[in-house]
Chain A
């Protein structure tokens, strides 16, 4: 179908036009907001010391960029988040596999998982710091503690939801539990695993920031707490903005990965 009809062409054109309009409006609102912020601090409508301003933030970014501290703090937070994310995925994949293999184990462990998962995760962080000391390893564990229990539960649920008839098929072909796991359970869980990844990258970031609030000498979480204590609002808001960008980029990376895998496997 190389030829498209005039009506289809018009539909596509309208669609594109709408898309451009939305993009333009987004930028417009963004710049209006920045302008309003900047102007209201210039005319002393709001106090720039407390609310900061776009120009002050830009200035802060430049000073921090010159002495390299912006890269150090961002890098540390990013590193801790990615490591805890990878560990969460690894641990929950292994645990879900074990639970799938042994229904007795899963029945025994279920209450523990549910309780640990419903606990407000930030409550665990102080405990971890006392137990493990204030070091980057602890921050990574704190990041994991927020995500790992929910992730195990969701992944195990995804494994359990495999079509019974597909499992029967593998059995009729002479397969054992291992074949069932590798030929049906894992492949058919991939869509669920991808959405679990998307949820968990954000949760790990939350956990890492909480850990850095409590016990760190570096990282964006540390910077936020430090800046709020000495009232350096420019630093605080700059850190928040960097955090926004990190969260957005991490999510986008996972989204791209999902898109790529879905396309490769045609699902």
Chain B
């Protein structure tokens, strides 16, 4: 079976009048269907740029990005992208926010709306359908943003530091929730984070980036002896500390 996502020899630089910023340099990796890949690296190294490239928002200067053997160019319906902040619009109700993507893509079909209703119910937001986003807690807002992304039924989910705006306790819980949702909806996901413990607790593989211009330092497979652990349970597992230390060492050597 060929991988779902193939990135080969991708380079990208930002050009401004004050100069050129080389953000990514010769990035090559692939992601299989159903896999959870975490990308860690020092802040400002080009992680968000990489996700923008994967989603087709920007085009690589060199190299190529293929999803299911087709090159990514322009926006592709098969990709869901969750940004750092939830960006729920205060002038819309929670429900209207969640169906925003479907509205834009003119896909307000009965099945899609039923799927949304189901997710709202399953993930504890049904009672807040007609509320304004400001009435939701931080964790609920993040879940709403995830449902907005999942409503489009993407085959690949990109998450750009989705928990960094939350306080620590909420963050652990939401991390657990979101991981559960992704597993249940059976999605392939790429999570960008600068929190190493978050990466170890969620991912099947971890891609470590060096300082800007970012190159791949190492791709580290994560295996826990016990299968199907939640992020919270992984944090208690004996292997957790070893993975954490290994990534820490790699980052310090190259970051």
Known interface pairs A165-B85, A266-B132, A267-B91; A171-B57 also in contact (CB < 8 Å)? yes
Contact with B along A231-267 (1 / 0, CB 8 A): 0000000000000000000000000000000000111
Residues of A within 8 A of B83 (CB): 165, 168-169, 172
Stretch at the interface among B65-73, B98-106, B201-209, B226-234: B98-106
Say whether B81 faces chain A, with CB atoms less than 8 Å apart: yes
Query: How far does the alpha carbon of A163 sit from the alpha carbon of B85 in the complex, in Å?
Result: 12
The answer to whether A174 touches B77 (Cβ under 8 A) is: yes
Task: Give B147 Cβ to nearest chain A Cβ, in Å.
Answer: 13
Kindly state whether residue B75 has any CB partner on chain A within 8 Å. Answer: yes
Q: Within 8 Å CB of A166, what residues of B?
A: 87, 89
Q: How many angstroms from the CA of A233 to the CA of B134 in the assembled complex? A: 57
Q: Complex Cα distance A168/B55, Å?
A: 11
Instruction: Determine chain B's interface SS by DSSP, over half rule.
Output: loop
Give Cα distance in the complex from A170 to B148, angstroms. 11
From known contacts A165-B83, A168-B57, A266-B132, infer whether A173 and B90 are also in contact, taking CB-CB under 8 Å. no
* A183 close to chain B: CB less than 8 A: yes
Name the CB-closest residue of B to A171: B57
Most chain B beta-carbon neighbours within 10 Å: one of A169, A170, A171, A184? A169
Contacting pair A266 B87 (CB below 8 A): no
User: Within 8 Å of chain B (Cβ to Cβ): is A133?
Assistant: no
- Does B90 contact A267, Cβ atoms closer than 8 Å? yes
Contact B85 A174 (CB under 8 A): no
- Cβ–Cβ < 8 Å partners of A172 in chain B: 55, 57, 75, 80-81, 83
Given A171-B57, A172-B57, A174-B75, the answer on whether A265 and B100 have CB atoms closer than 8 Å is: no
For B30-55 the 0/1 string (1 means CB < 8 A from A) is 00000000000000000000000001
Is B10's beta carbon under 8 Å from chain A?
A: no
Beta-carbon contacts of B5-33 to A below 8 Å, as 1s and 0s?
00000000000000000000000000000
Contact between chains at B104 and A187 (CB < 8 Å): no
Known A171-B57, A172-B83, A173-B100; judge A187-B91 contact (CB<8 A): yes
The complex places the Cα of A172 from the Cα of B77 at a distance, in Å, of: 9
**Could you say which residues of chain B place their CB within 8 Å of the CB of A168?**
57, 83
Contact B104 A266 (CB under 8 A): no
Sorting the interface of chain B by its residue count into under 10, 10 to 19, 20 to 34 or 35 or more gives 20 to 34
CB distance from A31 to the nearest CB of B (A): 46
- Give the chain A neighbours of B104 by CB distance below 8 A: 170, 173-175, 179, 183
Q: Return chain A residues, CB-CB under 8 Å to B87.
A: 163, 165-166, 169
A173 contacts B55, CB within 8 Å? no
**Chain A 169-208 near chain B by CB (<8 Å), digits 1 or 0:** 1111111000100011001101000000000000000000
- The CA-CA distance from A184 to B89 in the complex, in Å, is 8
Q: Is the CB of A174 within 8 A of B90?
A: no
- Among the listed A163, A174, A266, which residue makes an inter-chain contact with B91, where contact means beta carbons less than 8 Å apart? A266
- Tell me the nearest residue of chain B to A266, going by C-beta: B132
Cα separation A184 to B104 with both chains bound (whole Å): 12
CB distance from A212 to the nearest CB of B (A): 40
Query: Any chain A CB within 8 A of the CB of B152?
Result: yes
Instruction: Enumerate chain B residues within 8 angstroms of A165, measured Cβ to Cβ.
Output: 83-85, 87
> Which residues of the other chain, A, contact B132 by a CB distance below 8 angstroms?
266
Residues of chain B with a CB closer than 8 A to A267's CB = 90-91
A264 and chain B: residue at smallest CB distance: B91
* In the complex, chain B residues whose CB is within 8 Å of the CB of A265: 90-91
Q: How far is the CB of B132 from chain A (nearest CB, A)?
A: 5
Least CB distance, A171 to chain B, in whole angstroms: 6
How far, in angstroms, from A43 to B89 measured CA to CA in the complex? Answer: 66
Chain B residues near A170 (CB, 8 Å)?
A: 104
Q: State the CA gap A174–B101 with chains docked (Å).
A: 7
CB distance from A265 to the nearest CB of B (A): 5
Closest 3 CB pairs of A and B: A172-B81, A173-B101, A175-B104
A selection of 25 A-B contacts at a CB cut-off of 8 Å is A163-B87, A165-B83, A165-B84, A165-B85, A168-B57, A169-B83, A170-B104, A171-B57, A172-B55, A172-B81, A172-B83, A173-B101, A173-B104, A173-B148, A174-B77, A175-B104, A183-B89, A183-B104, A184-B89, A190-B91, A265-B90, A265-B91, A266-B90, A266-B132, A267-B90
Q: Which residues of B does A touch, CB under 8 Å?
A: 55, 57, 75, 77, 80-81, 83-85, 87, 89-91, 100-101, 104-105, 132, 134, 148, 152
